[in-house]
Chains A and B, each alone.
Chain A
């Protein structure tokens, strides 16, 4: 009985009890199981009035597309959004958690949330899990101190940048940014550049695909442009269509009559002690 209680984590979080045994098994040749990752292209850039975030919409499980149109731009606060790459469960959980913490903080302080607050909450959470929470994030927003854009790595380090890309398609997207980014872009130029960078990831990286999501955040306003571009329609739909005949073959018919329910009433009161 006591052994069960010992192995369960006391307050939640990770239990490292099996690490030694896993090491031993790996040395003996056991291959570790793999995680489900999103394989993604996410980008962010700062333009003259604020921040623009972009993401593709493909979620993969190894070589198979699990979701053709998932949402990778997560809400953190009315003025702050966060793109997530890496293990889908981790990005969802960590952004939801920090979003809730920010809301409580807004009630507590009576002020609009600041991007650096979200940044600090995210980075300290990820650092305390030593990289095991596999979430690579692009955090962007506009607050009283101005527009901000940050990248956060799974181990908890952060960068503050004018333009950033993360995910398996980050190199393809960064190639576009490094060629075409300049300071003081207008909104339309910025959105066009973000869409171009995401398209570069979509077409050149196999882990990214389907559609482009864009989110424009300016002082006092945000526009979440879900499926801003749909550059990948299905190429062929058969006119005649296909049917799947639900033919069931009767192999054997056997009727088993149910036994009659017999009520046993013993003389006397039932259920007495």
Chain B
């Protein structure tokens, strides 16, 4: 009997784009608020961003049911950590936890494309970028999701990261100010919305710095 093909898929793609940029003393994490399936819009007002710890924020695009499940697992694990260690998890620690959680389901993955942003223990901005099964890397900026291919080349041009092969090791964080970075993020989303049908409606931006977290919204094209 020839191998049977599945006539049902457990996954769906709800679209959307996420971006994060690390600065010297801040971190910007942004995601659009459109949730879609096929050619239809499910809602224009869905948050893909979650604050996991006081200095760690995760944005995820992909299959939102898996994203939700992943968020719950991470939140529960963070709570346990707080009970056991009497402190909040640092951003690099959360990064490792996310990687392990994703790899745990290596053979039935979370269809979730994540980008984790926050401040490290020195107060510098950090961004970690992931694939669906947990491979991760600390970078100066990252984009994931349906508009990532449109945004990444622009960020590469504007935020040229120094080569990691250079010595002495240069910081990947951008020298731009917080205001300039936010302007850059707004431009990225406005441009991606023009050409990607799955990105649009609104963009939610979270800015983490020494004084705390700030949330901003900007309207995008709704077509």
Cβ-closest 8 pairs across A and B: A209-B223, A236-B190, A206-B197, A202-B223, A206-B39, A65-B195, A236-B186, A238-B187
**A–B pairs, 24, beta carbons within 8 Å:** A39-B39, A63-B196, A63-B198, A64-B195, A64-B196, A65-B196, A65-B197, A204-B40, A204-B41, A205-B40, A207-B39, A209-B197, A232-B222, A232-B223, A234-B194, A235-B190, A235-B193, A235-B220, A235-B221, A236-B186, A236-B187, A236-B189, A238-B184, A238-B187
Q: Mark A175-216, 1 if CB is under 8 A from B, else 0.
A: 000000000000000000000000000111111111000000
Contacting B at CB under 8 A, from A92-131, are: none
Number of chain B residues close to chain A: CB under 8 A? 25
| B188-220 to A contact mask, C-beta < 8 Å, 1/0 | 011001111110000000000000000000111
Evaluate contact between A210 and B197: CB separation under 8 angstroms: no
Taking the complex as formed, is A240 at the interface, i.e. its CB lies under 8 A from any CB of chain B? yes
Decide if B223 touches A235 in the complex (CB within 8 Å): no
Contact B220 A207 (CB under 8 A): no
B187 / chain A contacts, CB cutoff of 8 Å: 236, 238, 242
Give chain A nearest CB distance to B51 CB in angstroms. 25
Could you say which of B183, B184, B189, B198 contacts A206, with CB atoms under 8 Å apart?
A: B198
Quick check: B183 and A240 within 8 Å, CB to CB?
yes
Tell me the smallest distance from the CB of A129 to a CB of chain B, in Å.
26
Contact between B40 and A234, CB atoms less than 8 A apart: no
Interface status of A58 (Cβ within 8 A of chain B): yes
A146 to chain B, nearest CB (A): 35
Q: Within 8 Å of chain B (Cβ to Cβ): is A151?
A: no
Contact B223 A63 (CB under 8 A): no
A68 and B195 CA atoms in complex are apart in Å by: 8
Quote the shortest CB–CB distance from A200 to chain B (angstroms).
11
Contacts of B190 in A (CB 8 A): 234-237
Task: List residues 201-251 of chain A with CB under 8 A from any CB of chain B.
Answer: 202-210, 231-232, 234-238, 240, 242, 244
Q: Which partner residue on chain B sits nearest A208 by CB separation?
A: B223
Select from chain B the residue with minimum beta-carbon distance to A241: B187
Residues of B at the A interface (CB closer than 8 Å) are: 36, 39-41, 146, 157-158, 183-184, 186-187, 189-190, 193-198, 218-223
In the complex the two chains form, is A206's CB within 8 Å of B220's CB?
A: no
A91 located at the interface, meaning its Cβ lies under 8 Å from any Cβ of chain B in the complex? no
CB-CB contacts below 8 Å: A60-104 with B: 60, 63-65, 68
Residues of A contacting B223 with CB < 8 Å?
Answer: 58, 202-203, 208-210, 231-232
B221 with A232: CB separation less than 8 A: yes
Q: How far does the alpha carbon of A237 sit from the alpha carbon of B191 in the complex, in Å? A: 9
Q: Taking each of B40, B193, B223, which has the highest tally of chain A beta carbons within 10 Å of its own beta carbon? A: B223
A234 to B222, CA, bound (A): 10
Measured in the bound complex, the distance between the Cα atoms of B157 and A206 in whole Å is 29
**A206–B41 contact, CB under 8 A?**
yes
* Nearest opposing residue in chain A for B36, CB measure: A206
The answer to whether B194 touches A65, judged by C-beta atoms less than 8 angstroms apart, is yes
Assembled-state Cα–Cα distance A234/B187 (Å): 10
Interface check A168, CB cutoff 8 A: yes
Are A205's CB and B39's CB within 8 A? Answer: yes
In the complex, are the beta carbons of B197 and A68 less than 8 A apart? no
Taking a contact as CB atoms under 8 Å apart, the answer to whether B146 and A63 are in contact is yes
Which residue on B lies nearest to A233, using beta carbons? B221
B199 to chain A, nearest CB (A): 9
Question: CA–CA, A138 to B194, complex, Å?
Answer: 27
Nearest Cβ in chain A — how far from B180, in angstroms? 8
Residues of chain A within 8 A (CB-CB) of B189 are 236
The CB with the most chain B CB atoms within 10 A, among A65, A168, A205, A236, is that of A236
Closest Cβ of chain B: how far from A37's Cβ, in Å? 11
